[in-house]
């Protein structure tokens, strides 16, 4: 089997509606696209256009009302809760605008969470955590808790954590939305470098033209529909 040619994401005719009758909200209408390994795709569009809705479907956090969605060859709309949990543990990871770190844990411990969930042996876990903290430039901040880190540093911890379990698909919802322009730029450059070096596929919702310029492709959504 040739894994390199298999799309990581294959979305066909995805639909997601909220409510019914005259107040029906069409958050996504007939959305189709592929994402391949090593590809970074930006999802752009004004507020309310459907970016988060789309990422939530890709991440298995929500189900479409129509269409098909294959992630690494699996139809994820057909998975039960257990299957979705496994997918989120092993294949897909998420980076949020608000970082989502656990306040009581150090940077190292936060990065190690996915490895703990997989029961990776301690020595192996510590080695991988150290490597990832090095990769995101935080080797000297391993023992600090989130409140003792800057926003950009916290987001870099979140990126390291997202990579800990070697996912195939990295989803990021406005990962630089809470950062100043300069810090945001370093986080974007880091994401780009990681997609290249790890061969992971990434889908990044963003309002930022710089982030879009770093992407291989920009999908623009308006009223739940992809342009072009
Ligand atoms: N749980 C929900 N119930 C009803 N409507 C919803 C729900 N979640 C989202 N919507 C609607 O779906 C549309 C798309 O929302 P979504 O959050 O995907 O937009 P977005 O592009 O991520 O916006 P932003 O840039 O502000 O984050 C919006 O009109 C929103 O009001
Ligand atoms: Mg959103």
Residue 54 maps to a domain: yes
Ligand nearest to the CA of 221: 1
Residue 125 maps to a domain: yes
- Distance in Å, CA 54 to ligand 1 centroid: 10
122 lines ligand 1 (CB under 6 A): no
Residue 26 maps to a domain: no
pLDDT of residue 1: 46
| Residue whose CB lies within 8 A of the most ligand 1 atoms, among 15, 17, 31, 48, for a mutation test | 48
- Distance in Å, CA 28 to ligand 1 centroid: 10
Pairing relationship of beta strands 169-173 and 92-95 according to DSSP bridges? parallel
Tell me which residue of 39, 43, 64 sits closest to 52, measured CA to CA.
Answer: 43
Question: In whole angstroms, what is the distance from residue 175 CA to residue 177 CA?
Answer: 6
- Distance in Å, CA 18 to ligand 1 centroid: 9
Residues 146-183 pLDDT 10s: 999 999 999 999 999 999 989 999 999 999 988 888 88
Residue 15 maps to a domain: no
Question: In whole angstroms, what is the distance from residue 29 CA to residue 6 CA?
Answer: 25
Per DSSP, the three-state class of 167 is: coil
Residues 125-150 pLDDT 10s: 999 999 999 989 999 999 999 999 99
Can you tell me the mean pLDDT for 2-13?
81
25 lines ligand 1 (CB under 6 A): yes
Residues 6+ apart with CB under 8 A from 9: 33, 34, 35, 58, 69, 70, 71, 169, 201, 203
Ligand nearest to the CA of 43: 1
Average pLDDT, the chain: 93
pLDDT of residue 228: 63
- Ligand 1 atom with least separation from CA of 53: 18
pLDDT exceeds 80 at position 87: yes
Q: Judge whether 110 and 90 are in contact, CB under 8 Å.
A: no
Residue 164 maps to a domain: yes
CATH number of the CATH domain containing 44: 3.40.50.300
Residue 29 maps to a domain: no
pLDDT of residue 22: 87
CA distances from 57 to 27, 94, 185 (A): 11, 12, 27
Residue 10 maps to a domain: no
| 112: phi then psi, degrees, rounded to nearest 5 | -80, -10
Range of the domain at 143: 39-62+91-227
Percent of the chain with pLDDT over 70: 97
18 lines ligand 1 (CB under 6 A): yes
| Domains contained in the chain, number | 1
Residue 71 maps to a domain: no
| pTM of structure | 0.93
pLDDT exceeds 90 at position 112: yes
102 lines ligand 1 (CB under 6 A): no
Residues 30-69 pLDDT 10s: 999 999 999 999 999 999 999 999 999 999 999 999 999 9
pLDDT of residue 213: 94
Chain Cα centroid distance, residue 104: 23
């Amino acid at each position: 089997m040739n894994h390199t040619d298999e799309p990581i994401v294959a979305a066909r005719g995805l639909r997601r509606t909220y409510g019914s009758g005259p107040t029906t909200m069409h958050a996504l209408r007939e959305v189709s696209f592929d994402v391949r390994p090593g590809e970074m795709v930006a999802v752009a569009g004004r507020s309310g256009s459907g970016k988060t809705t789309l990422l939530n479907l890709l991440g298995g956090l929500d189900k479409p009302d129509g269409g098909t969605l294959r992630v690494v060859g699996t139809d994820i709309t057909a998975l039960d809760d257990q299957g979705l949990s496994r997918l989120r543990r092993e294949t897909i990871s998420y980076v949020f605008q608000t970082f989502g770190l656990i306040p009581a844990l150090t940077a190292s411990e936060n990065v190690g969470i996915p490895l703990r969930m997989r029961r990776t042996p301690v020595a192996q876990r510590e080695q991988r955590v150290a490597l990832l903290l090095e990769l995101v430039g935080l080797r000297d901040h391993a023992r600090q808790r989130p409140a003792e880190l800057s926003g950009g540093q916290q987001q870099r911890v979140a990126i390291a954590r997202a990579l800990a379990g070697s996912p195939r698909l990295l989803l990021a919802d406005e990962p630089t939305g809470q950062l100043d322009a300069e810090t945001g730029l370093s986080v974007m450059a880091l994401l780009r470098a990681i997609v290249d070096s790890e061969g992971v596929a990434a889908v990044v919702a963003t309002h930022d033209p710089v982030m879009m310029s770093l992407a291989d492709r920009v999908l623009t959504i308006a009223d739940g529909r992809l342009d072009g």
